[in-house]
Chains A and B, each alone.
Chain A
């Protein structure tokens, strides 16, 4: 029984166990079905999620990269990334992230970047530029690999504004143009003033380079400044620029190296020099005019002396003539002639100095430097000769022969005058000024020394700077700087040595010139074999009388008329070989007379004789005007009768029927330009 009971218990136990197992099997099956359904729902969700991801990935307004977590190779990137950086889509899948992310080393410094942390990084674009982005990453599984999903939001514009705001105060300048450019000269940013000044819109400006704004020939300025700025220097330089309309504007720029958008760049602020240059030119002109004024008083002074000599000599001549002492009379007349000659030279020099403002009009010639020194010494004697203690002043001129230089005599003259004046001013109590010129090797050295107060060493350095002066408001401070510029243009240099209390020596060194010296005087022309029929139309009776008296003993048959009408009537009635007509007649001008004669000859079909204009104005005449008026030469007063005779002979000899010489403005003492 017990065994049966136990057996029954066992059966019951097994039945319970079976029931339990069945139950478990059923439940596990149900769970499996549930799990399968869940799995399918999950798959569907994953598919939807994947599709959503793809949509976001493709259309996101930010760059998205999926990179291998170990190698950082780019496995996928979205359309925005391609467009933003400019790379072809296929290209990005062949590179690592560090090949397009400039700051990748920093980003991956500690291995994988901290998920979710936003960091600012830089990317390299396809065209070599750089852009800024806020980057955030997160880990994800992609293609069975541990990867990183990287989102990059472009913040370049914001960075630009941030960087610009650093220079906001400079850019806000209402008066000065401001540039930011890279070291290749590409303009990266400009302010409104720059746009207005140069006439470009900002978008246009940002497509330009500095070279586009540079006047031809100034490129080396940019190259030099670039080298200095690359060394980290802040520099100041002058730069001639050209606007959109072709206007040239000189600028003084201050430039310094900066960092702009993470790249080395240059920040430049410009100051328009036009006004300053005009001011300088005006001051120079003013200084010259002031000097001219001083010269004029010197000239007046000398003229008074000369006139005194002439008056005195004239009285002597008259008295000796009356006494029958012809030789004494002749000597007196020669004195008068010499004084008159000197007077005309003085006038010519002052005209050279005052009127040649534009040195381009004066020709570059080879000339003896000694002549300039002598004349300058002569002209400045008035500065001390009339002083109460003039005996304390001595002027020595020591000039070696053959000191030939090439240049513009009037400019050298101006320099010497300036230095002489300074020398004399440095000797308030008297002293000696020495002018010396000598040839040293291939140079001509000119020393202008004084025994004056000397120049302190601290002033020596600044002596040639514009506006530097120790003489207070009475001096423009431009004399020495102007002289410096003149000597430089002549290929020379100017130096100064000075000892305080003992004196100063300025040394000018100019290149020694070779070649023919510009002839100052025409060699005498031999007398013509035939008579020269000379018509003079001049309203100044004294001049007519002087000429009549002189030509009386020559081959010249002078016919003088005091009015244009009389002169034209004479011309119409008889033939002349040469006509000299005063420019400023009472009834007609010399131009009108010339024009009448030219047209008359054309109508008559007759050859036009050489027509010369006689004038005291020593300035260039318009060639067209000369031609139109039939003027063959211009004769500048004063001209001695002897020189006039040579001129008439030369004109008659060289002129031929129907052959008109090219009209030229010439000085009475200078060679003709041609023919």
Chain B
């Protein structure tokens, strides 16, 4: 038995609002959910909001984070709270949280993994989109659960403020944290990830970097190289760097898929040392190229991602759709952002319960059974099949 549903609430992020949201979900599900997802914008009263939700649902099996846009069965919404729940006897859910991402991201991943039961087949992960190293969290998780543990999810946003993001688990409103829900049982998961950006320009070698920070390209300060690329538009960094992310060329470790490249969006620049901070690790020695995309290619990517996820279901019936897409795509798509979700829902099934948000980063494997990576500027589609 599997039943899922989503509800949306606008503008009321207090305890009463939480109650209303929870009552709406209970009504839809006609039962207490085994697991809930909450995505909403940052708000000062989020703790009360969560209190209202969990008290009403009668369960603290709730996970979520703040966003840069919300997605539900009602479509794309902005500055809303979306709540989803699953009632099933086929899947066991387990929840975990850990803090201290900024300084010990990998350890956080390890703690999460150790808190989840070993029979966990699938994990959804939501981490602070501003602090911490998403790649490190994955390494921590995989070091305990194995390199082929299926992980999807996204990093929390704050609607472009880049000040603080929040992560939810039960009543807890956390920051500089990562929260995870583990799935175990009789189900299938199909995932798909695509960006729609294509490489342009000559490859450059990363001659100096450290984690997310890129210092030099081809022996020259990274900022200097970017300014050459961007010309008069360089003063719009880091924003323009989201439009033109850096693509890491070549085969990915443990991933046989040729031609795919991880994108890295600029987060900030340091004009003192000429470094640029990205929303993901930039390995030293990697070959990189500037990339660019357009509306058509971005939308095409959504179509491809949905198709990949469907293939991954291996014939099982889609029961729930999780949609995590990068906020950079909203900048490209503009008014046509809704079309991205529509394309995906049309492929997966327009009536399939849908939940998700626009992220600062995405977690997803490149292929079924492959490693999960931290992506930028991608649309990720995760579908539960029963």
Query: Could you list which residues of chain A lie within 8 angstroms of chain B, going by C-beta atoms?
Result: 13, 16-17, 20, 23-24, 26-31, 34-35, 38
Contact = CB atoms under 8 A, between A and B. Distances in A.
Interface in B234-268: 240, 243-244
A34 B201 contact: yes
A29 B335 CA distance: 27
A377 to B, nearest CB: 111
Interface stretch (B71-79, B168-176, B225-233, B315-323): B225-233
A26 B335 CA distance: 24
A27 B230 contact: yes
B8 to A, nearest CB: 24
Contacts of B228: 30, 34
A8 to B, nearest CB: 13
B290 interface: yes
25 contacts: A13-B334, A13-B335, A17-B334, A20-B243, A23-B233, A23-B240, A24-B292, A26-B230, A26-B231, A26-B232, A27-B229, A27-B230, A27-B244, A27-B292, A29-B231, A30-B228, A30-B230, A30-B231, A31-B200, A31-B201, A31-B202, A31-B290, A34-B228, A34-B229, A38-B202
Interface in B179-201: 200-201
Contacts of A13: 334-335
Interface in B315-353: 334-335
Size class of the B contact interface (CB-based, 8 Å): 10 to 19
A34 B233 contact: no
Nearest to A23: B233
Contacts of A20: 243
Contacts of B240: 23
B289 to A, nearest CB: 9
Nearest to A42: B202
Contacts of B230: 26-27, 30
B202 A27 contact: no
A35 B229 CA distance: 10
B261 to A, nearest CB: 17
The secondary-structure label for the interface of chain A is: helix
A655 B154 CA distance: 148
Nearest to B203: A38
B234 to A, nearest CB: 10
Given A16-B334, A31-B200, A34-B202, 5 more contacts: A13-B335, A23-B233, A28-B292, A34-B229, A38-B202
B243 A23 contact: yes
A16 B243 CA distance: 13
Nearest to A41: B202
Contacts of B233: 23, 26-27
A443 to B, nearest CB: 98
Nearest to B292: A24
A28 B291 CA distance: 10
Q: Point out which of B202, B244, B335 has the most chain A C-beta atoms below 10 A from its C-beta.
A: B202
Contacts of A17: 334
Q: Report, nearest first, the 6 A-B pairs whose CB atoms are least far apart.
A: A31-B201, A38-B202, A30-B231, A35-B202, A26-B231, A23-B233
A20 B333 CA distance: 11
Given A13-B335, A24-B292, A35-B201, A30 B229 contact: yes
A30 B334 CA distance: 25
Nearest to B331: A20
Contacts of A34: 201-202, 228-229
Nearest to A9: B335
Contacts of A38: 202
Nearest to B293: A24
Q: Point out which of A16, A17, A24, A31 has the most chain B C-beta atoms below 10 A from its C-beta.
A: A31
Nearest to A10: B335
A24 B244 CA distance: 9
A547 to B, nearest CB: 131
Contacts of A29: 231
A24 B243 CA distance: 9
A265 B200 CA distance: 67
Contacts of B334: 13, 16-17
Contacts of A24: 292
Interface in B200-223: 200-202
Nearest to B240: A23
A13 B233 CA distance: 20
